[in-house]
Amino acid sequence: MAKKQAAERRHAKPGQLIIRPIRESDYAALYDCAVESGHGFTSLPVDETLLRNRIARAQEAFSKQDLSTPGEDGYLFVMEDSNDGSIAGVAGIEAAVGLSEAFYHYHLGKVVHHSPKHNVYNALQTLTLCNDYTGATELCTLFLREPYRFGRNGRALSKFRLLFLAQFSKRFSSRVFAEMRGVSDENGRSPFWAWLEKHFFTMDFPRADYLTGIGDKTFVAELMPRFPIYVNMLDKSAQEVIGKVHQNTLPALKLLQSEGLQFRDYIDIFDAGPTVEGDLKQLKTVRNSRLMNVVVGQPEVAESYLLCTLQVEDFRACHADVSCQGDDVIIDRRVAEALQVEDGDSLRIAPL
């Protein structure tokens, strides 16, 4: 059924896809996204109370004015199809993680066991539980629904967040990271977690993943091994997935890497998926973004750009073919109406 809907969507005349702050009326669509995202998507738990709280928390974040330092604000956006108002996807930003409750990762390190007398030298990898991303900004909750996975929709839904960071940089940390979904099967079984479960826990991966998603993380501190783990002590299947991504996450990883985010030896504590990070000002879309004056007309020699407005609460973003002439960006009437801008208004833009 999903493939049939996707095919129908591709052959239908596309509406303008607009990205905007989430509203209470988007709850049903957000719930559907949570169900469709499946196991391992921690930030979208299938829980009505938690999802409604997530919406309320986002609305509070968007309503705040003149923030000068990053706090524990969570921004959640939806991509809306102007044809029928349906929700194509969701994406989020956490301004600063771990300020009031611990935010855990494993750090991949190395220890050397060396005996010159006996001519023995072994360099061994270790996993050490840490909170090194405390205060950093997280790109999170990226999910594009199956019928919309074509063209540049996925790129736009991921990259527009960097325009938001560029425009409202005082609200965010200079250190930006994203956790990538690790390897698990269709039943939610993670080879990495299976080893931890066998030796330290008595709960399966979907249960641990769900508890983290609803904010119940105390079991991590209570049950996780407190000392470094030697990687070579893990089952081979667990070792093989360290730093590897789920096959559905590979395009998202490559896109973030193209922006300048890099793997620096931090992995998820449940599925061992890699975390990538970078400096906000050095990210490609942030560096290449600029403010432009709006001219509503017919773009000539058009190129694909990301565009966003300059208001937090009434934020709008989209991708479109536009023309740039000096300090002016020429957009057609449909794009102007979607972004709710007129001649003389300002937009932040970046090449897509």
| 228, part of any domain | yes
Are 58 and 14 members of one domain? Answer: yes
The per-residue pLDDT for 258 is 96
164 in the same domain as 302? no
Is 29 in the same domain as 150? yes
Distance between CA atoms of residues 260 and 277, nearest Å: 8
Together in a domain, 174 and 105: yes
Check whether residue 243 and residue 326 sit in a common domain.
no
- Residue 204: give its domain's CATH number: 3.40.630.30
Say if residue 96 is in the same domain as residue 189. yes
State the total domains in the chain. 2
Q: Is residue 115 part of a domain?
A: no
Whether 84 maps to a domain, the answer reads yes
Residue labelled with tokens 């004015």: 65
How far apart (Å, rounded) are the C-alpha atoms in residues 276 and 280? 13
* 190 and 56 within one domain: yes
Pair 314, 278 in one domain? no
Residue at a domain's end among 272, 288, 304: 288
Same domain, 170 and 257: yes
**CA 268, chain centre distance (Å):** 14
Q: Are residues 275 and 311 in the same domain?
A: no
pLDDT digits (tens, 9 = 90+) for 185-207: 877 788 998 888 888 877 776 67
Nearest to 135 by CA among 170, 106, 108, 100: 100
pLDDT at 39: 64
251 falls within a domain: yes
**246 belongs to the catalytic site:** yes
Q: Which residues of the chain have pLDDT under 70?
A: 1-14, 39-42, 205-206, 209-210, 212-219, 221
Indicate whether 120 belongs to any domain.
Answer: no
Give the end of a domain, one of 288, 308, 340.
288
Q: Which of 39, 105, 246, 319 is catalytic?
A: 246
CB 55 within 8 A of CB 76: yes
Q: 47 and 34 in one domain?
A: yes
CB atoms within 10 A of CB 180: 22
> Could you list the residue range(s) of the whole structural domain that residue 351 is in?
289-352
Whether residues 157 and 224 share a domain: the answer is yes
Dist CA 258 CA 262 (whole Å): 9
**Which of the listed residues 253, 269, 288 is the one where a domain comes to its end?**
288
Position 117 scores a pLDDT of: 86
20 within a domain of the structure (yes/no):
yes
Q: pTM for the full model?
A: 0.88
Domain assignment of residue 118, yes or no? no
State the CATH number of the domain containing residue 332: 2.40.40.20
What's the confidence (pLDDT) of residue 195?
87
CA distances from 190 to 35, 185, 193, 207, 272 (A): 19, 7, 5, 12, 9
Note the pLDDT of residue 348.
Answer: 97
Q: What is the pLDDT of residues 297-323, one digit of tens each?
A: 998 878 999 999 999 999 999 999 999
**Does some domain include residue 9?**
yes
Contact 331, 296 (CB under 8 A): yes
